[in-house]
Structure 1
Amino acid sequence: MKFLTLIVALFTANFAFAQQKIDVSKIKEHPRLLLLAEEESRIKSEIKGDKAWADVNYAIIQECNAIAQLPAIERKMIGRRLLQTSREALRRVFFLSYAWRMTGKEEYFKKCEEELLAVSKFEDWNPDHFLDVAEMTLAVAIGYDWLHPKLSQGSKDIISKAIIEKGLTPALNPKHNGWQRGKNNWNQVCNTGIAFGALAVFEKQPEISKQIIEKAIQSIKLPMAAYGPEGNYMEGYSYWAYGTSFNLFFISALEKIFGTDFGLANQPGFLQTASFYQNLIGTSGTPFNYGDAGGNEGLQPAMFWFADKLKDNSLLFIEKEYLKTSKYNVKTNRLLPAAMVWGKGVKLSEMVAQKTNLWFGKAENEIAVLRSGWENNRDIYVGFKGGTASVGHAHMDAGSFVLDMHGVRWASELGMQQYNSLESAGLNIWDMSQKSQRWQVFRLNNHSHNTLTVNGKLHEMVGNAKLISKSEDVANTRAVFDLSPVFQPDLQKAQRGIAIIDKTYVTVRDEIVVGNEAVVVRWAMLTPAKVENIKTNEATLTSKGKQLKFYVAGLEDVKLQTWSTDPPQSYDAPNPGTTLLGFELKLPANSKKAFNVVFVTDGKVVDQTKLKPLSNW
């Protein structure tokens, strides 16, 4: 206990924030986290009255039946991480404890208790990679709290001791808690997990728990600043889902217990960020997966929290499709029961589309999203990237874009490569400097993205491409980024604009001013489509029974070509089914060049007079 007291003193001394006071008298009996006693009745009523919610509940229960047949989880490291084990523990415990509270069935209680005791007996939860501790602590805290009324005293003692010794204690140690001063998802995840642990065992360690919670309220404001001023989250699709979801768990727990979130939800840009996330899904159903992003997350519980908070069910238009198609991802969506907690029984008929056709938010890592509408398999969607490679989980992708037309993704992103595959090869991928090994990875550098490359060089990592003009004009929805900072000194100026014209076709216009030496500029686009009928300035793309014409306007001597996406290095991930399509230009010193690449379906007529200079956009 003296040791614990000492590191609490260190924890307090090394914390830069003013202390947020909480009223501990508001901390009531278990269950106290997310779903209070008797609140199951609301969910049960919603299940009876709406098939969509009944289906989500059924999917969770059915998955619990599958989990019940599995052996208890074991401590398995992958490289330097225990994270996959922690995440699976969270999935199992959250699902099982939810199923028990909803059904009262002994089998779910016993299996959940088995999992809690198994992880409680691990030697540790891997504090050297603290995300592992945070997710495990969240899992055990929820299970301990939700099962508390029925757990034996012996089980309570084992589980609460594990939370204190394997979760709270390392979190108080300066060796392991640098995340408290971080400005990314680590802060959100770790503060949430540890705060849940503190709230779960409050009776066992009241003073320590109080300090942890108070400090977490202040610390988590650091990464929340990244949402300002307009909701654009710099780490992209997958890390939005990760950091924001955990942030909402923290806010939700505070609101349930204390009746307030201490002003967290009102941090600049936070409530606006739901629109950012919603706009990252294209009309092909595929996300705009720039940076270290993965595939489609499926039903997103966090969006139901935002919709309820803002009383805006149009934020759920994408979620409506997931509910209709049962895209719950029960094997990977470890936070899925939160949709039942936050969903509040909103009806599918209330989840209407927004009316916007352009989304943009000022930020450190900027994007613009253009669309002709919101209907899958029909409307055009363009995700357009500016920004910088200097922020967490970023790629050298300024100027890149994705394109959906008629339900097909024609211009795509490869997305992230699993970190362990690169770390095990000896690469230091977390050094964000210009000469870092990170930028030798094919998926991370500009050579694999839908952008320009000059003289075969990497983009300037610190360069930041900003949006300089935009319009929501339905006949000419457009956005322009100034890419100049990522190409200097080779290019004096580089601007790229993308427009959806007459809701019919898409043009990408580049305007370039060369520096004091001649350059070779490569224009490239990654596509999962089959590239056919290549001529000098045009080609046909074929995918899923659809065709798209790709052609270049404004260049007399252009010659289209393709490049392989085979892994250039042994550590690079394979990229099957993809091709790079584009062309190269040799431009003399101090010259200027402007041109358009146009995407149009067969039978559609392109009005050449609308391919204007960017100054007229």
Structure 2
Amino acid sequence: MSVLSFSAVRDEYQSWPPDPFNPSSPSPTSVRPDRPRIIAPAYKWEVLPSIIQTNPYLHKWNNTIFGDAQKYYDQPVKSYFVDGGNGVLDIAREIKMRVKAWAYVYRITKDTKWVDRTWIELQNAAGNGTSPFGDPGNNWYTAHFLDVAEFTSAFAIGYDWMYDAWNPHQRDSIMWSIINLGLQWGVKSYNDQNSHWNFGWWQNVNGNWNCVCNAGLTLGALAVIGDDPTGTAETMLSLTVPNSKKNCVLAPSSDGTWSETPNYWYFGTTAHSEMSSALLTATGNTYDLVDPKFAMTALYHMHVSAPTGQFDYGDTGPNKFSTTANSMMFYGSYFKEPRYLLFQRDRVDVGEPWSMFWYDPSVRGAFWNDMPFDHYFDDDLDQWAAMRSNWADSHALYVAMKAGKHVGHQTHGDLDAGTFVLDAMGQRWAGELGNGDYLSEGYFSSEGQDSHRWLYYRKRTEGQNTLVVNNDNQNVWAQPTVKYDSTGDRQGLDYDYIPGTNSTAFFVTDLTGTYNGQRIKRGVRLINGRKQVLLQDDLLDVTQSVEWRMHTNATIAIENGGQTAMLTLGGQTMQVQLLNPGAGVGFSIKDAVRAPTDPALPPNQADQPNPGVKVLCVSLAPGKTQSLQVLFSPQWPGMSVSDLRLPPHVHLDDWSLTSHN
């Protein structure tokens, strides 16, 4: 039985009191009578100082916020700078970070120096400072509407959390900035056809853009509703809430996988949580925005998180700044799943104002207790699995592999069916390259087979840890099939849990359609009590050339006539062996650059360099039925050669939980 729980003992020192605002017929335009109303209502502020004194986590995060606030205070106001395809998004999110921290510290200390500093920052960002800040009337850059949303969100937090500190002139000034520079453009993006096509296209997509844009506009509207004499706030809420239900809510797949990429999960879920939490605190309801898929997307985040980082396939996105994984706190509290709060509370990005109000201080236990090591995410769009040897050990073994569709990812994916990452001993041995240059010609043109996106190395099949067949890209329209199983091992409360000898999981995908009819299957499994990894490719009557590729930051030494590669990284060693290879089959090393035979890039375009990255390769001749087995053996501390296992050869069709015992 799991010991994860919320404490049954509730007092002012251990948990939040119930919210006194509990409307019988909630409406997005009917708000609570007191301030603040957004995310952190007054009743929580009243008990927060007491909880900070008794809860070590909130105490630590509070100190972090105070330190950040002072750091921001000492810096000059942010200057306006359009950063190519990212517009002024970084500036907006940095200002949002500042306002959140200053507003928080003001409410804790009542020291008006934080109000004064916030006023200077907001005046500057509204174009009322001593230096120009964007185009008058369009200061927040509607051409990249995420920026408008994040500026609106920042101003909303400052307006609402410092409401009692503003004098009438200041309050009116901030309100009109929210209305004129944020909400009116938001309403136009919905209701004016030209504006919709120019900067409202995000209303018809189910990725982070929809969540972020609707969230910022929603927070702005909730902040000023009741004060706004124009009715713009009411109109805005009548548009953002239903649109989010049709789009943002669909961003996670049915299995919880974020349909864009693991890194875009951060942007989408932060915005979704902000919007949902703000509606809940301000109006008493979330209006079905917190779909059960968001409980699953929190589980997704746990499994896509690896000992050294993430299974970071696809584009990794812009700077995160005000974006964190603290949505785990909101989802954990909302769905009463303590594991999500326990997982997030020790992460490096946790210490910021949202965690102070989304965290439930009554939570008890260790996130890894009774947590399965493995999980298969089975939606056809995604089809990926993660396997590990330990949840609590940063040196644990972790391997993840994906199949899935190449379309339906908001042009953020790669041609990467069969790609994998591998962690062990605190190092990443097989890694992803991340995004290319977002300003590259055609980078976001489409997900079609002839898209310019697939000309760039980091997006091409050759830029992934998978097979390249006929020196070509994978078929974007293919739908792989998957076979997966696990012994279902779960970690107990013991930090140093050691799996049993026969503990395993495996993932096998049929990539025949992916490779245009070439009959190829790929599988990965854990062996020897999750101490080693077997990667196997079965090829049946394949008539085209095949190259096995793996990107690594390790130093590679080829030994044993090409049958063994010794990888060294961070003072650790990984042995990679070819088992029973055919004649002439061996490892080679290549640079992480496009092949000379690749189609040309668009004129005046270039790939990003990949410094320190090498590609471990194996070339297979066409016209054969063959099976390529690659065994990864981390050289674990205290482990001898006799502790390693050489697995038998078993065709992928015959893999089972006991096939390699």
Compared with structure 1, are the counterparts of its residues 153 and 260 closer, same or farther at alpha carbon in structure 2 (3 Å cutoff)? same
Could you say which residue in structure 1 is the equivalent of 2:148?
133
Whether the 8 Å CA contact 2:523–2:652 is kept in 1: the answer is no
CA distance in 1 between counterparts of 2:214 and 2:30 reads 22
CA distance in 2 between counterparts of 1:316 and 1:29 reads 28
Q: Secondary structure at the match of 2:393?
A: coil
Whether the 8 Å CA contact 2:590–2:614 is kept in 1: the answer is yes
Matched, 1:561 2:588: yes
Could you say which residue in structure 2 is the equivalent of 1:187?
210
Task: Kindly state the Cα deviation for residue 258 of structure 1 after the two structures are TM-superposed.
Answer: 2.1
Task: Kindly state the Cα deviation for residue 533 of structure 1 after the two structures are TM-superposed.
Answer: 3.6
Compared with structure 1, are the counterparts of its residues 189 and 296 closer, same or farther at alpha carbon in structure 2 (3 Å cutoff)? closer
Matched, 1:146 2:179: no
Q: Secondary structure at the match of 1:523?
A: strand
Report the AA paired with residue 562 of structure 2: T
Compared with structure 1, are the counterparts of its residues 559 and 614 closer, same or farther at alpha carbon in structure 2 (3 Å cutoff)? same
Matched, 1:89 2:92: no
CA distance in 2 between counterparts of 1:199 and 1:55 reads 30
Whether the 8 Å CA contact 1:357–1:372 is kept in 2: the answer is yes
CA distance in 1 between counterparts of 2:594 and 2:165 reads 54
After TM superposition, list the pairs within 5 Å mapping 1:429-444 onto structure 2. Answer: 429-444=444-459
Task: Kindly state the Cα deviation for residue 35 of structure 1 after the two structures are TM-superposed.
Answer: 0.8
Task: Kindly state the Cα deviation for residue 295 of structure 1 after the two structures are TM-superposed.
Answer: 10
Q: Which one of the candidate residues 472, 485, 497 is aligned to 2:523? A: 497
Task: Kindly state the Cα deviation for residue 239 of structure 1 after the two structures are TM-superposed.
Answer: 0.7
Q: When the two structures are superposed, what TM-score results if normalisation uses the length of structure 2?
A: 0.82
- Greater CA deviation, 20-29 or 350-359? 20-29
Could you say which residue in structure 2 is the equivalent of 1:576?
611
Matched, 1:220 2:239: no
Alpha-carbon deviations, 1:45-67, whole Å to 9, x = none? 22211333222111111111111
After TM superposition, list the pairs within 5 Å mapping 1:115-514 onto structure 2. Answer: 115-121=121-127, 122=133, 123=136, 124-173=139-188, 174=192, 175=195, 176-203=199-226, 204-205=228-229, 207-221=231-245, 222-265=247-290, 267-283=291-307, 285-293=308-316, 300-322=325-347, 327-328=348-349, 336-345=352-361, 349-363=365-379, 364-390=381-407, 391-392=409-410, 393-419=412-438, 423=439, 425-472=440-487, 474=489, 475-489=503-517, 491=518, 493-501=519-527, 502-514=529-541
CA distance in 2 between counterparts of 1:296 and 1:528 reads 23
Compared with structure 1, are the counterparts of its residues 381 and 582 closer, same or farther at alpha carbon in structure 2 (3 Å cutoff)? same
Matched, 1:105 2:111: yes
Identity of aligned residues (%): 26
Task: Kindly state the Cα deviation for residue 206 of structure 1 after the two structures are TM-superposed.
Answer: 6.6
Alpha-carbon deviations, 1:383-403, whole Å to 9, x = none? 111123222210111110001
After TM superposition, list the pairs within 5 Å mapping 1:542-553 onto structure 2. Answer: 542-553=568-579
- Greater CA deviation, 524-533 or 205-214? 205-214
Q: Secondary structure at the match of 2:540?
A: strand
Whether the 8 Å CA contact 2:470–2:545 is kept in 1: the answer is yes
Could you say which residue in structure 2 is the equivalent of 1:7?
none
Whether the 8 Å CA contact 2:270–2:324 is kept in 1: the answer is no
CA distance in 2 between counterparts of 1:38 and 1:575 reads 51
Task: Kindly state the Cα deviation for residue 158 of structure 1 after the two structures are TM-superposed.
Answer: 1.6
Could you say which residue in structure 1 is the equivalent of 2:629?
596
Whether the 8 Å CA contact 1:21–1:214 is kept in 2: the answer is no
Task: Kindly state the Cα deviation for residue 228 of structure 1 after the two structures are TM-superposed.
Answer: 3.8
Whether the 8 Å CA contact 1:35–1:341 is kept in 2: the answer is yes
Whether the 8 Å CA contact 1:228–1:268 is kept in 2: the answer is no
Alpha-carbon deviations, 1:322-370, whole Å to 9, x = none? 2xxxx2388xxxxx31111111225675444452021122321222111
CA distance in 1 between counterparts of 2:220 and 2:52 reads 30
Whether the 8 Å CA contact 1:300–1:339 is kept in 2: the answer is no
CA distance in 2 between counterparts of 1:539 and 1:530 reads 10
Alignment: residue pair count: 577
Stretches of structure 1 that go unaligned for 5 or more consecutive residues are 1-19, 331-335
Report the AA paired with residue 373 of structure 2: N
Task: Kindly state the Cα deviation for residue 257 of structure 1 after the two structures are TM-superposed.
Answer: 1.9
Could you say which residue in structure 2 is the equivalent of 1:13?
none
Compared with structure 1, are the counterparts of its residues 44 and 178 closer, same or farther at alpha carbon in structure 2 (3 Å cutoff)? same
Could you say which residue in structure 2 is the equivalent of 1:333?
none
Q: Secondary structure at the match of 2:513?
A: helix
Q: Secondary structure at the match of 2:447?
A: coil
Q: Which one of the candidate residues 72, 76, 80 is aligned to 1:71? A: 76
CA distance in 1 between counterparts of 2:615 and 2:369 reads 34
Whether the 8 Å CA contact 2:325–2:350 is kept in 1: the answer is no
CA distance in 2 between counterparts of 1:440 and 1:473 reads 41
Q: When the two structures are superposed, what TM-score results if normalisation uses the length of structure 1?
A: 0.88
CA distance in 2 between counterparts of 1:552 and 1:212 reads 61
Give the alignment's Cα RMSD to 1 decimal: 2.4
Q: Which one of the candidate residues 91, 109, 120 is aligned to 1:114? A: 120
CA distance in 2 between counterparts of 1:52 and 1:184 reads 32
Compared with structure 1, are the counterparts of its residues 296 and 357 closer, same or farther at alpha carbon in structure 2 (3 Å cutoff)? farther
Alpha-carbon deviations, 1:429-469, whole Å to 9, x = none? 33322222211221111112100001110111222334233
Q: Secondary structure at the match of 1:384?
A: strand
Report the AA paired with residue 500 of structure 1: L
